[in-house]
Structure 1
Amino acid sequence: MTWDRSATAAKPADLVPYERLREYFAGSGKAVAPHILWDVFTGHFTEFFPANSRSLSLADGAGGTRTNRAGSVVIQVEALFFPWCRVDGKVYEALEDTPCKGWDELHAWVSSWGVPDFWPMGKPTSFTGDRSESTWEKKGGWYAHGQVPENNHTDPGTWPAFPAAEKPAVGSPGTKKYEPFPGAKWFSMGRKSPIVARMHDRLVAVGCNRYKSSANKDTIGSGDVASYEAWQRKLGFTGSAATWPPGPASWTALKVPKG
């Protein structure tokens, strides 16, 4: 978590604005920026690095085990929160007590990179450190900052539970399936596919219709670009992260159904 202020039950403090942290990690704090900044109260996200490149928010000493880059991905998420923060007059002691808006979308994006729903060192329940270099090097999954080797922080204290797997409706042959992210290069102008038509329909359904026509909706065109960028902005992405082509986080959140 950002832990950008020290507060107590007796002296709670107002949450630092999301925009301030976003500007910090994009500016003077870029040397310690994570992959994702998550506003647990609004569901907004900012991505500072691609998931398959290293970010910089973990201590990583020379000659020791690798922390910022190990395995296939090491995705670092900073939740905008500190204990006893005050938002709209309400005080929150633990991150798990917040609305955790956007958690389903964030979890789906992390899962799309192959990260299993598993806490190798146990799900965090308090501000204590518990580290194992051998576990870190051998077991994939979710780790609290307080569980990462070479680091001395003890956050985040708590974390939301993994979303329950979708259950099929009564009489349904199975769970609902969505199109996996096909990769940014797939979204080339003029590509024709039934996936494009289903993307079109989803963008209209989520209130991001910037199409001038529904003709040839199975072919990528300027209307898809404008509508998808509106969707990215709706999710809270800004700057280059809110421009075409689609990325895995926004695509997962759109939930384009399989044919």
Structure 2
Amino acid sequence: MPEPWMPGAQKLDIGDHAPTDGGPPKAIGHITWDRNASAAKPQDLVPYENLRSYFSGGGKPSAPHVLWDPFTGRITQFLPATSRSKSLADRAGGTRTNRAGKVVLQIEALFFPHCRVGTTVYPRLVDTPCKGWPELLAWVRSWGVPDTWPMGRPVDFGSHRSEAIWASKGGWYAHAHVPENDHQDPGSWPAFVGAPATSEPKYEPFPGTAFFMAGTKPALGKRSAVFAAMGKRLVAVGCGRYTVGPGPTLGTADVASYEAWQRKCGHTGTAAKWPPGKTTWDLLKVPNV
């Protein structure tokens, strides 16, 4: 039976517990981003105690489940895994966010880009020591959250959102992936470590037709690492129709290339048209991103 309160974490129960809706279990990666720094003007990291006091005081209405210090490994938990937390925007009557899963575990890493600790400046979260990450990951896994990023592991501060994927797939999501939210963090996140052999597929799972569409038309202009990986495979199988790229932004060359692949797989007529289907996607063997 998984533990509602993470073993080894400081328990600081702020109350206001409420159930989730059920469904695929999720974990959300955030950064505190409490200062704006730059490579030219780094700033000192805000003390861990400040954020812990904030989320247990005036910041209760936006508290996550967990505050994680990747520099020391300290972890404070404010709400049990069985309760929703409130770190995500959730408009009335819209897509469920904070409650959208068996668990929706929200992890706030104490970090902002170009923070300074001692004399060292850290541009990305993955550049930090990431102390405590293996223990945190093990606890998240215990709640059935798979070691997958349905919208791609975060590698930038762009927004990559799909309500269809969010509603249907469990796994890890960046704050930048969640519908109804405008934040673009965390920008990066540590890799899965010590993962079970079956936890992360070798190939990118089919994300569903809605991922590729904007209404009834191709989702041109949408950005995702999945598109870049897809395009490279299309080139490798002799179906590339690119003059530049491929890259992470969906374009007409991606559409033409995939339609060429569907024809190569024996499809004709409307069956060969965009969007991708699961059968041809699985045959393409797009590397997991």
Give the structure-1-normalised TM-score. 0.64
1:118 equivalent to 2:118? Answer: no
Q: Does 1:100 align with 2:168?
A: no
Equivalent residue, structure 2, for 1:22: 52
Shift of 1:139: 0.3
Cα shift at 1:95:
0.3
- Determine the C-alpha separation between the residues in 2 that align with 1:86 and 1:14: 5
Q: CA deviation at 1:164?
A: 2.9
1:83 and 2:109 matched: no
Q: Residues of 1 paired with 2:141 and 2:111: CA distance? A: 23
Structure 2 distance, partners of 1:61, 1:165, is 35
Please give the per-residue CA displacement for 1:24-52, whole angstroms capped at 9, x wherever unaligned.
00000000000000000000000010011
2:143 is matched by which residue type in structure 1?
Answer: W
Alignment RMSD (CA, Å): 1.0
Per the alignment, in what secondary structure is the counterpart of residue 61 of structure 1? Answer: coil
Structure 1 residue 58 and structure 2 residue 88: aligned?
yes
Structure 2: distance between partners of 1:164 and 1:117: 11
Paired residue for 1:159, among 182, 185, 189?
189
Q: What are the residue-to-residue correspondences of 1:180-191 with 2, within 5 Å? A: none
Q: Summarize deviations over 1:107-132 as a string: whole Å, max 9, x none.
A: 00000000000000000000000000
Partner of 1:13: 43
| Aligned-partner SS, 1:143 | strand
Partner residue, 1:216: none
1:47 maps onto 2:104 in alignment? no
Q: 1:146 aligns with which of 176, 186, 190?
A: 176
Give the strand-richer structure, 1 or 2: 2
Query: Using the alignment, how far apart are the partners of 1:64 and 1:103 within structure 2?
Result: 33
Preserved contact between residue 45 and residue 117 of structure 2 (Cα < 8 Å): yes
Amino acid at match of 2:76: T
Partner of residue 225, structure 1: none
Measured in 2, the distance between the counterparts of 1:66 and 1:49 equals 19
2:99 paired residue number: 69
State whether residues 66 and 78 of structure 2, in contact with CA within 8 Å, keep that contact through their aligned partners in structure 1.
Answer: yes
- CA shift for structure 1 position 166: 7.1
How high is the sequence identity, in percent, across the aligned residues? 69
Q: Could you list the per-position Cα deviations for residues 201-247 of structure 1 after superposition, in whole angstroms to 9, with x for gaps in the alignment? A: xxxxxxxxxxxxxxxxxxxxxxxxxxxxxxxxxxxxxxxxxxxxxxx
1:133 and 2:163 matched: yes
What's the secondary structure of 1:142's corresponding residue?
strand
